[in-house]
Chain A
Amino acid sequence: MKKRLVALVVGAAMITTGLLLGCTGNDTTPAGDDVVVEEPAETPVEEPAEEPAIVGEEVVINFFHMTWVPEMLEVVEETIAVFEAENPGIRVVETRVSWTDAPSQLMASIMGGSPPDIVMANPSILAQFRGLGAFADLTDRIDPAFVDGLFPTAVQIMTNPYGRFDGKPQEGANWALFYRKDLFEEAGLDPNRPPTNWEELVEMAEALTVDTNGDGVVDQFGFGWPVAAENATDYWVNFMQMAGSPITEFVDGNWVSRLDGPEALQATQFMVDLVQEYGVSPASIVGWDWEGVTNAFVSGDVAMMHNGGWVVGVVQERGPELEGQWGTAWLPAGPAGYAFRGHPNTFHILEASNHQDEAWAFLEFFYNAPSQIPGLTFMDAFCAAPGGMMYTHDFLEWAIENYDPLLTPFLEAAEYAVIPPMDPQWMNLSNMYVQSTVQEMLMGTVSVEDGLARLHAALLDMQAQ
Chain B
Amino acid sequence: MYKFKSKATPYFFLLPCAALIFTILIYPVTAGMINSFYDENLLMPMEPTFIGISNYQSLLGNPMFLGALWRSIIWTITIQVFSLTIGLFFALALNGNIFWKKLLRCLVLIPWVIPNAISGIIWRWFLDGSYGLLNYILRSLGIIQHNLQWLSTEHLAASALVSVIIWRSIPFITITLLAGLQAIPMDIYEAAQVDGASRLRILMHMTLPLLSKIIIITTILTSIWNFNQFEIIQVITRGGPGEATLTLPVFIYRLFMQTFQTSIASSAAVIMMIILTIPTIVYVRKILRG
Please name 15 pairs of A and B residues whose Cβ atoms are closer than 8 Å in the assembled complex, sorted by A.
Answer: A11-B13, A14-B16, A17-B16, A103-B43, A104-B43, A217-B145, A284-B130, A287-B129, A292-B130, A299-B130, A428-B261, A432-B254, A436-B243, A439-B240, A440-B243
Docked pose: A134 CA to B152 CA in angstroms: 40
* A202: interface (CB < 8 Å): no
Q: Specify which chain B residues have a CB less than 8 angstroms from the CB of A8 in the assembled complex.
A: 5, 9, 12
Interface 1/0 per residue, B262-278 and A, CB below 8 Å: 00000000000000000
- The answer to whether B130 and A443 have CB atoms under 8 Å apart is no
Q: Specify which chain A residues have a CB less than 8 angstroms from the CB of B64 in the assembled complex.
A: 432-433, 436
- The answer to whether B42 and A103 have CB atoms under 8 Å apart is yes
For the complex formed, measure the closest distance between the CB of B232 and the CB atoms of chain A, giving whole angstroms.
16
Chain A interface residues (CB < 8 Å from chain B): 4, 7-8, 11-12, 14-15, 17-19, 21-22, 25, 100, 103-104, 107-108, 110-111, 128, 132, 215, 217, 219, 228-229, 282-288, 292, 295-296, 299, 301, 427-428, 431-433, 435-437, 439-440, 443, 445-446
Q: B151 touches which one: A132, A287, A431 (CB < 8 A)?
A: A287
Docked pose: A443 CA to B151 CA in angstroms: 12
Docked pose: A19 CA to B22 CA in angstroms: 12
Please name the residue on chain B nearest to A132 by beta carbon: B45
- Count of interface residues, chain B, beta-carbon cutoff 8 Å: 42
* B258: interface (CB < 8 Å): yes
- The answer to whether A14 and B13 have CB atoms under 8 Å apart is yes
* B259: interface (CB < 8 Å): yes
Q: Specify which chain A residues have a CB less than 8 angstroms from the CB of B255 in the assembled complex.
A: 432
Closest 7 CB pairs of A and B: A287-B152, A18-B16, A431-B258, A284-B152, A440-B242, A284-B149, A286-B241
Q: A436 touches which one: B42, B44, B45, B242 (CB < 8 A)?
A: B242
Docked pose: A436 CA to B64 CA in angstroms: 10
Q: Specify which chain A residues have a CB less than 8 angstroms from the CB of B6 in the assembled complex.
A: 4
- The answer to whether B239 and A436 have CB atoms under 8 Å apart is yes
Q: B19 touches which one: A11, A18, A295 (CB < 8 A)?
A: A18
Interface residues of B in 177-236 (CB under 8 A from A): none
Q: Specify which chain A residues have a CB less than 8 angstroms from the CB of B257 in the assembled complex.
A: 100
Please name the residue on chain A nearest to B151 by beta carbon: A287
* B153: interface (CB < 8 Å): yes
Docked pose: A427 CA to B260 CA in angstroms: 10
For the complex formed, measure the closest distance between the CB of B146 and the CB atoms of chain A, giving whole angstroms.
5
Docked pose: A431 CA to B238 CA in angstroms: 11
Please name the residue on chain B nearest to A287 by beta carbon: B152
- The answer to whether A285 and B152 have CB atoms under 8 Å apart is yes
- The answer to whether A283 and B153 have CB atoms under 8 Å apart is yes
- The answer to whether A104 and B12 have CB atoms under 8 Å apart is no
* B106: interface (CB < 8 Å): no
Docked pose: A108 CA to B44 CA in angstroms: 10
